[in-house]
Structure 1
Amino acid sequence: MQRYTTPAIVLHWLVAILIVATFALGLTMVDIPGLTPTKLKYFSWHKWLGVTVLGLACVRLLWRKTQGAPPYPDSMQPWQQRAAHGLHILLYILIFAVPISGYFYSLAAGVPVTYLGLFPMPVLIAPNPDLKPVLKLVHYTLNMIMLGAVSLHVLAALKHHFIDRDGVLKRMLP
């Protein structure tokens, strides 16, 4: 069975870990009442992680487009291959859409993003109190869709490993 390339594996797991960390930090920070120094710090870290995910997603997509992916095993049913392909497309869309929606939500709230506290990101929209709640809902909804898609992705990988024993998961393990 063919494996993914080492850079593809590293990018996959790095993005996966950062998404989990960003999601967990997002849930933690919104549960902190009021506007405390800790909450503000967590918001900054959350944004930095989001920008990092977006940057790595660009690298990952470029790598995937130039290097491709190993073929699915012949034992995989055609409908499973189509489902896996569709889920991968959805995950790629979400890896871009979630941080972009958060970025625009932050801008609409009048809070520009400064990556790592050093590099100001471009301000693409002016503060907009009418757009802020819409973008907040979009960001939240996309995150919940991502949670579902990632969960399905993990469950499918485990099914292939423990039930089908077809080596699909091993293609992406370091």
Structure 2
Amino acid sequence: MPATRPVQWNLTIRSLHWLSALAVIGLFSSGWWMTGLGYYDPWYHQAPWWHKSFGITLLAVTALRVGTRLVTAAPPTQGALLERRAAHAGHFLLYALLVSVMVTGYLISTAEGKGIDVFGWVTVPALLTPFKDQATIAGSIHWYCAWALVILAAGHALFAIKHHVIDKHDTLRRMVGINHNDTTSH
């Protein structure tokens, strides 16, 4: 890691952050929508294929994001000690929930021993031997973790806005890519 800490996140980190945010919103929305589809609905088979393809893509993006984050210096965290600790705990929980949702999605999709076709480009194999009621158990965990992820992500967004508007911290500007010294951005 560089000796000096940057004042904002680099373009790679920012891009992966916002791409992940869009994917989580889209996957949650499509997952919720899919639960209401009837068997004879034209999207009954097609929607899960898209959902799984984007889910596996998000898994790859998340792995890239974590790897990039491990070798990238972070801007200093702002706020009081308790706020900084809460921020670190919240980020850890966001990643844990994100991974939990994707792993349980994988377990749902591979419960019958078949791999996951990703956009027709590659098939992710079913690596685990299916266990009793795998799809049902993983489905329940997937649903609750997805809700927890979206609720925590909403809180994450609200805190970023609070830090920007009330605390006048650079937290949001650093993730958007606006220089903290740019007075035209206030």
Look up the SS of the partner of 1:36 in the other structure.
coil
In structure 2, the partner of 1:5 is 10
In 2, Cα distance between equivalents of 1:61 and 1:68 = 13
Identity across the alignment (%): 30
CA contact (8 A) 2:31 2:51 kept: yes
In structure 2, the partner of 1:121 is 124
In 1, Cα distance between equivalents of 2:56 and 2:41 = 23
**Which aligned pairs between 1:59-98 and structure 2 lie closer than 5 A?**
59-73=64-78, 76-98=79-101
Q: CA 1:17/1:34 → structure 2, altered by over 3 Å: closer, same or farther?
A: same
RMSD over aligned Cα, in angstroms?
Answer: 1.6
Higher mean C-alpha deviation, range 32-41 or range 122-131? 122-131
**Which aligned pairs between 1:5-154 and structure 2 lie closer than 5 A?**
5-73=10-78, 76-109=79-112, 112-128=115-131, 130-154=133-157
Query: For each residue in 1:23-68, what CA deviation from the matched residue of structure 2 results, as whole angstroms up to 9, or x when unmatched?
Result: 1111111111225331211101100110011000010001100003
In 1, Cα distance between equivalents of 2:61 and 2:133 = 31
Unaligned runs of 5+ in 1: none
Q: Under a length normalisation based on structure 2, what TM-score does the superposition of the two structures give?
A: 0.86
Which is greater in Rg? 2
Look up the SS of the partner of 2:115 in the other structure.
coil
State the Cα distance separating 1:111 from its structure 2 match. Answer: 5.2
In structure 2, the partner of 1:160 is 163
Question: Which has a greater percent of helix?
Answer: 1
Look up the SS of the partner of 2:110 in the other structure.
helix
Look up the SS of the partner of 1:172 in the other structure.
helix
State the Cα distance separating 1:109 from its structure 2 match. Answer: 4.7
Look up the SS of the partner of 1:117 in the other structure.
coil
State the Cα distance separating 1:128 from its structure 2 match. Answer: 4.7
**Letter of the 1:32 counterpart:** L
State the Cα distance separating 1:141 from its structure 2 match. Answer: 1.1
CA contact (8 A) 2:13 2:65 kept: yes
State the Cα distance separating 1:161 from its structure 2 match. Answer: 1.1
In 2, Cα distance between equivalents of 1:97 and 1:142 = 7
CA contact (8 A) 1:115 1:121 kept: yes
Look up the SS of the partner of 2:77 in the other structure.
coil
Q: Under a length normalisation based on structure 1, what TM-score does the superposition of the two structures give?
A: 0.92
In 2, Cα distance between equivalents of 1:69 and 1:103 = 31
Unaligned runs of 5+ in 2: 1-5, 178-186
In 1, Cα distance between equivalents of 2:97 and 2:40 = 29
